[in-house]
């Protein structure tokens, strides 16, 4: 958190509104893991009479800002939904442009990842990606493997159902003595990471789009009408503030709740 406040102070008056939001955040109650469905690039471009790829290009800036802000806040993990298993249905030219933009982003941001001690990983069925895409990903994964700051996960050729299928296949192959939630969690792409506390979706769509289906069982959802290319640092900070106003129950009832005695009485009947 201090790193973010220091950076905002260095930006001067133009960052005062963001600094006010940051100061309102309780550093002791930050979400450990934030997941983001980056939606709305196509609509952003269409509203401006531009091709869809222009929206994807415009979306690079918010990725940079979100990653940098997350690292400065001290998040343990940030997962960005970049390309789903269903996205192969898109025009080949659009997919090719996405791979080009990914290469540009990875090469341009590697230095910043190192500066912020970010460990980069990719999750999904990576073996199905084009060889040149896999090489770019592997190079950055290897270069940042020793970093100990925020874990940045890029979900690419990812699907929540596919992930669970892959975990079950690994479980069958391993033939453990007992199959339980812990055994499945240990074989997910995100094994060893905390589950997302907060799931952000841009563009106003009210669905999770096959994203981290197992992991978001108790995540808090934050949906904004903002299209991804317009998603700012302030929007991220507002999402965290909204998260901190909520009471997380994980299916239970707080001991101090007035409802607790009533529920206990009902159960005793």
Q: Which pLDDT value is given to residue 269?
A: 45
95-107: pLDDT as tens digits: 999 999 999 999 9
Token pair in block for residue 138? 């592997």
Region 212-235: mean pLDDT is 98
Percent above pLDDT 70 for the chain: 92
Q: How many CA atoms lie within 13 A of 52 on its CB side?
A: 12
Please say if the pLDDT value at position 268 is more than 50. no
Number of H helices, E strands in the chain: 11, 6
Q: Which pLDDT value is given to residue 179?
A: 86
Q: Which pLDDT value is given to residue 249?
A: 75
Count CB atoms within 10 A of the CB of residue 139. 14
Residue with tokens 């003595």: 177
Please say if the pLDDT value at position 185 is more than 80. yes
Region 216-231: mean pLDDT is 98
Please say if the pLDDT value at position 155 is more than 80. yes
- Contacts of residue 64, defined as CB under 8 A and 6 or more positions apart, other chains included, come to 105, 109, 112
CATH fold of 41-245 reads Undecaprenyl pyrophosphate synthetase (3.40.1180)
pLDDT band at 174; cut points 50, 70, 90: confident
Please say if the pLDDT value at position 230 is more than 50. yes
Region 136-154: mean pLDDT is 98
- For the annotated catalytic residues, the residue numbers are 39, 87
- Contacts of residue 74, defined as CB under 8 A and 6 or more positions apart, other chains included, come to 1, 3, 27, 30, 150
CA 200/CA 121 separation, integer angstroms: 20
DSSP for 7-41?
A: HHHHHGGGGHHHHHHHHHS-GGG--SEEEEE---H
C-alpha to C-alpha distances, 164 to 141, 174, 187, nearest whole angstrom: 23, 15, 9
DSSP for 254-269?
A: -TT-THHHHHHHHHH-
Please say if the pLDDT value at position 7 is more than 90. yes
Mean pLDDT lowest among 7-21, 59-73, 107-121, 254-268? 254-268
Break the chain into its structural domains and give their ranges.
Answer: 41-245
CA 34/CA 195 separation, integer angstroms: 9
Q: Which pLDDT value is given to residue 250?
A: 73
Q: Which pLDDT value is given to residue 255?
A: 60
Please say if the pLDDT value at position 261 is more than 70. no
Region 190-196: mean pLDDT is 97
Token pair in block for residue 116? 């912020």
pLDDT band at 253; cut points 50, 70, 90: low
Q: Which pLDDT value is given to residue 260?
A: 47
Interhelix angle 2-11/16-24, rounded to 10 degrees, is 160
Q: Which pLDDT value is given to residue 258?
A: 54
């Amino acid at each position: 958190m201090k790193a973010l406040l220091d950076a905002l102070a260095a930006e001067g008056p133009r960052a005062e509104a963001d600094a006010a939001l940051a100061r309102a955040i309780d550093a002791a109650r930050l979400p450990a893991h934030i997941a983001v469905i980056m939606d709305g690039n196509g609509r952003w471009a269409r509203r401006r009479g531009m091709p869809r790829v222009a929206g994807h290009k415009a979306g690079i800036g918010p990725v940079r800002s979100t990653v940098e802000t997350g690292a400065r806040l001290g998040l343990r993990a940030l997962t960005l939904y970049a390309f789903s298993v269903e996205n192969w249905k898109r025009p080949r030219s659009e997919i090719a442009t996405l791979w080009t933009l990914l290469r540009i982003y990875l090469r341009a941001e590697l230095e910043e990842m190192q500066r912020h001690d970010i460990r980069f990983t990719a999750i999904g069925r990576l073996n199905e990606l084009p060889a040149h895409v896999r090489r770019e990903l592997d190079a950055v994964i290897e270069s940042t493997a020793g970093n100990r700051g925020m874990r940045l996960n890029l979900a690419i050729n990812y699907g929540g159902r596919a992930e669970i299928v892959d975990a079950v296949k690994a479980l069958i192959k391993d033939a453990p003595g007992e199959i339980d939630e812990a055994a499945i969690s240990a074989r997910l792409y995100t094994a060893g990471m905390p589950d997302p506390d907060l799931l952000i979706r841009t563009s106003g769509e009210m669905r999770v789009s096959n994203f981290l289906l197992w992991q978001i069982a108790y995540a808090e959802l934050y949906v904004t009408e903002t299209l991804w290319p317009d998603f700012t640092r302030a929007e991220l900070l507002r999402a965290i503030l909204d998260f901190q106003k909520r009471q997380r129950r994980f299916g239970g009832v707080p001991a101090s709740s007035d409802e607790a005695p009533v529920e206990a009485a009902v159960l005793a009947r």
